[in-house]
A and B are shown apart, each in its own frame.
Chain A
Amino acid sequence: MDLSVRIGPGTLPNPVGVASGTFGYGSEYEKLIDLSIIGALYTKAVTPEVRPGNATPRIIETPAGMLNSIGLANNGLAGFRAAKIPYLRTLPCPAVVNVAGAKGDDYAKVIEELAAEDCIWGWEVNLSCPNVKTGGLALGTDPTEVEQLTARLRKLTSKPLIIKLTPNVTDITAIARAAEAGGADAVSCINTLVGMVIDTKALRPVLPGKTGGLSGPAILPVGLAAVYRVARAVRIPVVGLGGISEADHAVQYLLAGAHAVQIGTANFIDPTVHQKVLDGIRAFAALHNLKSIPEFHQFID
């Protein structure tokens, strides 16, 4: 079984990655998890400037899920270069830098300034963060803007360029096609769903920003349907995420048309989930005599 995954000019050793925002920059988990088994480590979002993040509380549990409003907290481009790049050079797995910002110039700046770093395998462009006032979600819901920004970033890098899509739109396939037209090597979906929790004793929303991003097992069917539709709308690979907490969930994403997957919220809960998912994908492939990841796509029309 060949587990490798081709995305544009790059190859990932296996299809099981860890999602941006749930795994820091890798060092946070090195005592708990063998990082060499990870197919791709999508870093916490990097923005040009330092972002302290949103007011607290930032997290609240929901039925089979969690709502977050972190606000892209990160140390900015300079902080990333100084504190994180040296560590990424030592990573035993491919590092995909998640890029975020408030406007197109921000995304361009991050990619331009980090373009020469050999330790960066590729980029995941976060056009879908629901927790910042401008950029992110706002940029990611207009197909014209998505195509233009993707084309602009495409010119800045020869590394794999993955556009991360939001589910908070009427038709996610329109955004995916725009990313493809702009020259993206792949799309990843889904980012979190906009959600809300109200404290009925205090008579106010629990999160100071009122709404946040929903993740966890609750969103698995939503992510799966999005990947199923997007995989049929574009020719570039689709990276599926949303609610994966066991091998069967990841296999469902691959069957739906994904070439790779990301584990997100489950990183917080089960340090053995990556190995289990990888083992489960291998076992499924052996059972059905599949030789490569694209062969997973033959079953469902």
Chain B
Amino acid sequence: MAHIVTSVLENRPVAQDYYELRLAWPSWAPAPQPGQFLTVRTVDGPVPLLRRPFAFSGFDRADSAASIIYQRRGHATTLMTAKRPFDPFDILAPMGNGFPDPGSGRRPILIAGGIGMGPMMFLAERLAQSPYPGILIIGARSGQYLPRVVLSRSVQTILCTDDGSAGRKGSAIDIAREEIRQDGCAPELYLCGPHGMLAAGHALAEELDVPAWVAMEQTMGCAVGACMGCVVRVHGGEEYARVCMEGPVFDSRTIVWT
């Protein structure tokens, strides 16, 4: 983890309310892994106050660039849409733990909902170059929220929408269930998206008796483990775990799903 004051390379819309921001990555900075995140100071002033966390959606050492995909949702993210190339970008990164490799013989099934698309695309690109390429399933409410992002040809991608306006009709979890049945593989699930989708993904993993990795979200204070703000309920001795330090990626069986 390091304090990196870098600059914006590109900031463009990739779906309705979604943007991809590419930033210059200094050669001395540690390489981000899929599942890890950065926190950005959006303004040099007191409003918005706190740094905002965003998962990495890509990293290319050769291009000296990393990227995030963010959703315009409130004041801070609206200000971020105004960032232009060469604007300074003050981040702490890379933070947290990334996704682990799949177990031997397991087929990775990557399930993304909404803003969870960024880290899942990053992971899919990584796995496509590995001995265990997976299937990437990106779900959205409606077609306009699906990303217009070009992924490598080797990444097997399925798009789906709740209303059937683009891609296959159905939730990402339903599509995942169908794909796993048809494929006949021993899957390992990777999920990032709304809490309800993560809970449904955990239920699917329990039903199939397979592992599932979930990237959790929680409002953050410091993002370095000091403030105890960004916790989630977990099973076992410690009642809570910090998303920023023990996460954001958790074995879904450790989470207390409510």
Contacts of A70 in B (CB 8 A): 227-229
In the complex the two chains form, is B227's CB within 8 Å of A68's CB? yes
Tell yes or no: A65 within 8 A of B by CB. Answer: yes
- From 209 to 239 in chain B, residues with beta carbon under 8 angstroms from any chain A beta carbon are 218-233, 238-239
A3 CA / B229 CA spacing, docked (Å)? 34
Closest to B245 in A: A28
With A216-B49, A217-B46 already in contact, the answer to whether A32 and B228 are too (CB < 8 A) is no
Contacts of B3 in A (CB 8 A): 32, 271-272
Contacts of B2 in A (CB 8 A): 31-32
Contacts of A216 in B (CB 8 A): 46, 49
A23 CA / B228 CA spacing, docked (Å)? 10
Tell yes or no: A115 within 8 A of B by CB. Answer: no
- From 42 to 65 in chain B, residues with beta carbon under 8 angstroms from any chain A beta carbon are 46-51
B32 to A: closest C-beta gap in Å? 15
What class of interface size applies to chain B in its complex with A? 20 to 34
Tell yes or no: B92 within 8 A of A by CB. Answer: yes
Tell yes or no: A134 within 8 A of B by CB. Answer: no
A179 to B: closest C-beta gap in Å? 27
In the complex the two chains form, is B50's CB within 8 Å of A268's CB? yes
Contacts of B231 in A (CB 8 A): 53, 56, 58, 73
B251 to A: closest C-beta gap in Å? 19
Point out the residue from A24, A56, A68, A267 that lies within 8 Å of B232, measured CB to CB.
A56
A268 CA / B223 CA spacing, docked (Å)? 8
A85 to B: closest C-beta gap in Å? 18
A216 CA / B45 CA spacing, docked (Å)? 12
A107 CA / B240 CA spacing, docked (Å)? 25
- From 239 to 270 in chain A, residues with beta carbon under 8 angstroms from any chain B beta carbon are 245, 265, 267-270
Contacts of B228 in A (CB 8 A): 44, 53, 58, 70, 73
- From 149 to 200 in chain B, residues with beta carbon under 8 angstroms from any chain A beta carbon are none
Tell yes or no: A284 within 8 A of B by CB. Answer: no
In the complex the two chains form, is B46's CB within 8 Å of A28's CB? no
A210 CA / B141 CA spacing, docked (Å)? 32
With A64-B46, A66-B49, A270-B41 already in contact, the answer to whether A52 and B239 are too (CB < 8 A) is yes
Can you spell out 21 A-B residue pairs with CB atoms less than 8 angstroms apart?
A24-B224, A24-B225, A24-B227, A29-B224, A29-B226, A31-B2, A32-B92, A52-B238, A56-B232, A59-B221, A61-B49, A61-B50, A64-B47, A66-B221, A68-B229, A267-B222, A268-B222, A268-B223, A269-B41, A271-B3, A272-B3
- With A28-B226, A68-B221, A268-B227 given, name 6 new contacts (CB 8 A): A22-B221, A44-B228, A59-B219, A59-B229, A269-B51, A272-B3
| Residues of chain A whose beta carbon lies under 8 Å from any beta carbon of chain B | 21-24, 28-29, 31-32, 44, 52-53, 56-61, 63-66, 68, 70, 73, 216-218, 245, 265, 267-272
